[in-house]
A and B are shown apart, each in its own frame.
Chain A
Amino acid sequence: MSSGDEAVRLRNAVVLLGSFPALAEASLVVERGEIVLISGANGAGKTTLLRLCAGLLPLARGEASVLGFNLATQRKEAQLHVGMLGHANGLYLDLTAQENLQFWGSIVGASSREMALSAQRMGLHSRLLNTPVAKMSAGQRRRTALAILVIRRASLWLLDEPHAGLDAAGRDEIDIILREAATAGATIIVASHELERAGALATRRIEVVGGAVVERGVQ
């Protein structure tokens, strides 16, 4: 069990994808309220690290806890407090943006007002809300996914390339949302290749090299 101020604690964590150790003895401590940027080459293990923290991958060896919950035994409990936006958006392509928002709002227990505010925030106006996701551009889909992430009201945000596909206004808006969430007490971990953009947000930077975590210092 981690201490009360720790959002993430990994100790010699090993995650296997088949027989390949995608995370190899990775150790990391993230304090609550931090915005941590994860950098690293393709295939270094950034996404695996995020998926481990989201409880989507089992721990083969070592220790891992998120928000005080041991991922080996309390994965479901931890997931109630975690929001993740991966490479995919997690949307239903045949449904409209509004129907996707309503579905996820119902799943996580968000109110209609929260959904409307979140949609407005991400620039999903009425015409766009009634457009099937299959007919949306990549950026519009990302905005819809971000609106859904916001209504999760998660304590730990895990973001994999969140700026990908967004226009300048969308990128600015997500930066504002992430800063506000951190100010409100959320912890944010962002994996990104856009070091300048994401680095400006982050309070700390780490690099994943060959499945291990290397500290790159305070921003």
Chain B
Amino acid sequence: MKRHSTSTWTVARTIASKDLRIEWRSKVLVNQVLPFAAIVMVLFAFALDNDGILQRVAPGLVWLAVLFTSLIIVQRTFAIESADNALDAIKVAGVPSAGVFIGKSVALVAQLLLFECVLVLLALVLYQVHLSWGGVVLLVTVSVLANIGLAAMGALYGGLGAAAKGRETLLPLLLLPAVAPVLIGATRATESAFGVGGASLGEGWPWVALLAVFGALFGFGGTLAFGVLTEE
């Protein structure tokens, strides 16, 4: 009668492909979250209606917009689990928690990368910043590493708050302070990629190393902690 436990990687792959399929099917991210992100970028441009200031603060604005957007995406990714109580069904299935965490994180990274492409393009147009080829390489590296950190923390705190009362307000309270190092590192590295404030490309790479450390720490820590924190 009994079944054997499914491997962590099978669970991770199944969860990630399910999450991405649901987003592709529902189009909520494209039809609702993407316009929200674009509006945030435009409002920043209106609020700081001065080319010099806008270009100077463009990296921070891009990453603030990413951070706001990531809050919505993380809430959305756990809302689909709680809509018909699928999260309980996953728990009862006795699958490895690490697989659920990795699957959720991978799906979040994919979604955040899509958003960042759009937000950077908007920054190039609205804030009139410039990117060299070296800057593109640096920015892509920063985006991937920063997203791993954001996604890992998002999956961890999203799972933690999924069953909690007032989860909509709890998530920003938990997540924003935790990802502050990612925001700082990504903004500094993006300043170098955009070449604003006299920053050179070479100054950005040490921040990349810092983002890699955060990504590894958050990813590894989240994999270990997710099961313990979300079980009760």
Contact = CB atoms under 8 A, between A and B. Distances in A.
A and B form one complex:
yes
Interface of A: 54-56, 58, 75-84, 86-95, 99, 103-104, 106-110, 132-133, 152-155, 184-186
B22 A80 contact: no
Contact of B2 (A103, A110, A153, A184): A153
Contacts, number: 98
13 contacts: A76-B94, A79-B93, A81-B94, A90-B89, A92-B83, A92-B84, A104-B89, A106-B10, A107-B11, A107-B93, A110-B3, A153-B1, A184-B1
B92 A79 contact: yes
Given A108-B6, A152-B93, 5 more contacts: A81-B1, A82-B92, A89-B84, A95-B25, A109-B4
B14 A80 contact: no
Contacts of B89: 84, 90, 104
B114 interface: no
B84 A91 contact: yes
A56 B6 contact: no
Contact of A90 (B10, B25, B85, B231): B85
Contact of B91 (A77, A79, A184, A186): A79
A179 B104 CA distance: 38
Interface range, B side: 20 to 34
Contacts of A91: 84, 86
B22 A109 contact: no
Nearest to B90: A107
Nearest to A105: B14
Contact of B92 (A56, A94, A185): A56
A95 B84 contact: no
A69 B24 CA distance: 41
Interface in B154-175: none
A147 to B, nearest CB: 13
List the 4 closest A-B pairs by CB distance, nearest first.
Answer: A90-B89, A79-B94, A88-B85, A80-B94
A107 to B, nearest CB: 6
A22 to B, nearest CB: 14
Contacts of B231: 75
Contacts of A88: 84-85, 88
B130 interface: no
A95 B18 contact: yes
A107 B95 contact: yes
Contacts of A154: 1
B176 to A, nearest CB: 28
Contacts of B91: 55-56, 79
B137 interface: no
Contacts of B5: 80
Interface in B110-137: none
B97 to A, nearest CB: 9
- Among B4, B84, B89, find the residue whose CB has the most chain A CB atoms closer than 10 A: B89
